[in-house]
Amino acid sequence: MQLKGKTVVVIGFARTGLEVARFLALRQARVIVTDRRPMPELQSEVASLAGLPVSLRLGEEAPDCLGGVDLVVPSPGVGADHPLLRQAWRRGIEIASEIELAARFMQFPLIAVTGTNGKSTTTSLIGAMLKESGLKSFVGGNIGVPLIHFADAPWDWGVVEVSSFQLEWTRRFRPRIAVLLNLSEDHLDRYASFTAYVAAKERLFQAQGPQDVAVLNRDDPWVWRARTRIRSRVISFGWSQAEAGVTATRDEIVWHDPSGVERFALAGVKIAGVHNIENLMAAIAVARTVGVQAPVIRRVMEEFSGLEHRLEFVSEKNGVRFYNDSKATNVGAVVKSLMSFSAPVILLAGGVDKHGDYGVLEREMRRVVKKLVLYGAAKQKIYERLGHLTQTAVVGGFEEAVREAAASAAPGDVVLLSPACSSFDMFQNYEERGRAFKELVRRL
């Protein structure tokens, strides 16, 4: 793609927008960055572009900046209803997401991982397996540094987490290996329906061909249906038995291919939870497809200790174990987390409602939740749906929620922060929420 002399509007000046603006300016495009936030809130971003020819339109929608524009690149947080995107669409101006733009410059094969839950852990596992095998690879995308940062450098493989938001404006984005882990209700505050959300996820496969690979969860009905709509070669994983691909029991993961069977014991694995066995299955499917040898995979499985805020063990106090699962921002993630425990759980939930069905939690609530502690903007809605299932406390703030949960716990219990909601009523993001939880636990 020729960028020199092209005029490009970048909507959104967070991490992705900043990387895109820098990439474009260094390739002599005329760059206009627009953001609703005013200059005082963006001083560090502005300073990082010092010396580059970038025009800034901050603190406004900048409706008049589309004249003569060749391309619009929205940041992932910018929805399709943004006024500039609506205008660009009506005028026939090309719109491309950051990963779509990056794909046009990449000269290396890409592994892309998406799904409602488990993306970051699976992406990190795959990256660790490739790195341990000696391949020159990076891990990025939605999990960290945007893909475009790596786009025109030489790599053996790139491993990226991609979200539905990033996939919305893609056409030629083509992973050599595309992974769809699972699908459950999420981001229904952005999508008109669950079907629309699923369609955005399936854009991961749209540019793949028969020589590419799709790794699919055969136990997830929404994921498994996708195999009828894609052209790539399917490798499946799941708990159900199959003649090829990856299967699992509570004791081991088994890889089947035409050359034979390989077994990977779970006894030495540090990361907990049935969902993490599913993440491991997907990672093994990718690693063996790439050619990573079994001893390397086993070594990574035993050394990988998990990611912060993903069912992270925090502390044990007076026989009570505390877990930080702040990344569980949807009901599907909470179901998987609760399935990981047999001990009684005091569950902390709440935050900003994402319009998912809390009723999905009912089975696991009845099985294992001793007490439900609700806080934040969605607390009343959750209470109305789940409060009758167990002892429930509705509290005013996050600190009060942690104190209430700790006071309710007896030796042998688990206190689990697994909110089922986003964090934006009280925190900047789920990371800040998770760190606050850990600090409050330390003070108990």
pLDDT, tens digit, 9 for 90 and up, residues 118-173: 999 999 999 999 999 999 999 999 988 999 999 989 999 999 999 999 999 999 99
Please report the pLDDT score of residue 271 as a whole number: 86
Please report the pLDDT score of residue 144 as a whole number: 85
Please report the pLDDT score of residue 340 as a whole number: 85
- Distance between CA atoms of residues 119 and 379, nearest Å: 27
**Using CA of residue 258, residue 259, residue 260, residue 262, what is the dihedral sign?**
negative
User: What stretches in the chain show pLDDT beneath 70?
Assistant: none
Can you tell me whether residue 189 is helix, strand or coil? coil
Please report the pLDDT score of residue 356 as a whole number: 86
Tell which phi-psi region holds residue 99, choosing left (phi > 0), alpha (psi between -120 and 50) or beta.
Answer: alpha
User: ∠339-340-345 over CA atoms, to 5°?
Assistant: 80
Q: Which amino acids are annotated catalytic?
A: 119, 142, 187
Q: Please report which helix (H) or strand (E) contains residue 416, including its range.
A: strand 414-417
pTM: 0.83
Secondary structure (DSSP) of 281-302:
HHHHHHHHHHT--HHHHHHHHH
Can you tell me whether residue 170 is helix, strand or coil? coil
Query: Which residue bears the tokens 């599913």?
Result: 278
Dump pLDDT digits (tens) for 407-418: 999 999 999 999
Please report the pLDDT score of residue 32 as a whole number: 95
